[in-house]
Structure 1
Amino acid sequence: MSVDQLTDTTGGDEKATTEAVTTAAAAAGSYPVAPGYRLNVRSGPGTGYSIVRTLPEGSRVQIRCQTPGTRVSGPYGTSNIWDGIGSGQYVSDAYVRTGSDGYVAPRC
């Protein structure tokens, strides 16, 4: 069910309910980058792709989708999963604390 389809059946404020769901969804999809790391954001799912920017220490990322790519070892293990965080922007899942060794978002 999309946020647009939600209705408040408790007699409360529908706008407040929608805003609360939207805020909760955004928080649930936001994950911290490993502490002490500046993370390279690449143009594709692998180390062979160009770096488009670097995230500063303490960053959080919203994972839009995930896809397999180059296998990378990082603070959260070794993984070939790459997290799509924007159009043409990917980070290695080995540097993002998702709480899972598998996919936590739809495939790109």
Structure 2
Amino acid sequence: MTAVAAGSYPTAPGYNVNVRSGPGTQYRVVRTLPRGARVTINCQKPGQAVTGPYGTTNIWDNIGVGEYVSDAYVRTGSDGYVTGRCG
């Protein structure tokens, strides 16, 4: 049996996307993704609602240890969760 790899998704074109230490804008920016970046979503969790190019959502995507981006800036093709929730 083979493991299913996490999906890679493009960030919104024309945006430098802030990566935060938690699921909300009150968390510090740990880095900024360049325009045209792709992210691998490890898990997702609810947090602060954010409005971006892909609508308003409270879903935050975990892309690394202590690294979250708002799903409003990631084109997942869904308005809901596309992977498991973070523990």
Alignment TM class, shorter chain as reference:
over 0.9
Aligned equivalents of 2:63 and 2:40: distance in 1? 6
Q: What is residue 9 of structure 2 aligned with on the other side? A: 31
In the alignment of these two chains, the number of paired residues is: 86
Unaligned runs of 5+ residues in structure 2 are none
3-state DSSP class of the match of 1:78? strand
TM-score scaled to structure 1, two decimals? 0.76
Unaligned runs of 5+ residues in structure 1 are 4-21
Deviation at 1:75, TM superposition (A): 0.3
3-state DSSP class of the match of 2:18? strand
Q: What is residue 71 of structure 1 aligned with on the other side? A: 49
Larger Rg: 1
4+ long deviations beyond 4 Å: none
Cα deviations across residues 61-96 of structure 1 (Å, max 9, x unaligned)? 000000000000000000000000000000000000
Deviation at 1:105, TM superposition (A): 0.8
Bigger RCO of structures 1 and 2 (CA < 8 A, at least 6 apart): 2
Aligned equivalents of 1:42 and 1:52: distance in 2? 5
Q: What is residue 43 of structure 1 aligned with on the other side? A: 21
Deviation at 1:2, TM superposition (A): 4.0
TM-score scaled to structure 2, two decimals? 0.94
Deviation at 1:102, TM superposition (A): 0.1
Cα deviations across residues 38-72 of structure 1 (Å, max 9, x unaligned)? 00000000000000000000000000000000000
Please point out which of 68, 77, 81 is paired with 1:90.
Answer: 68
Q: Name the structure with the higher strand share.
A: 2
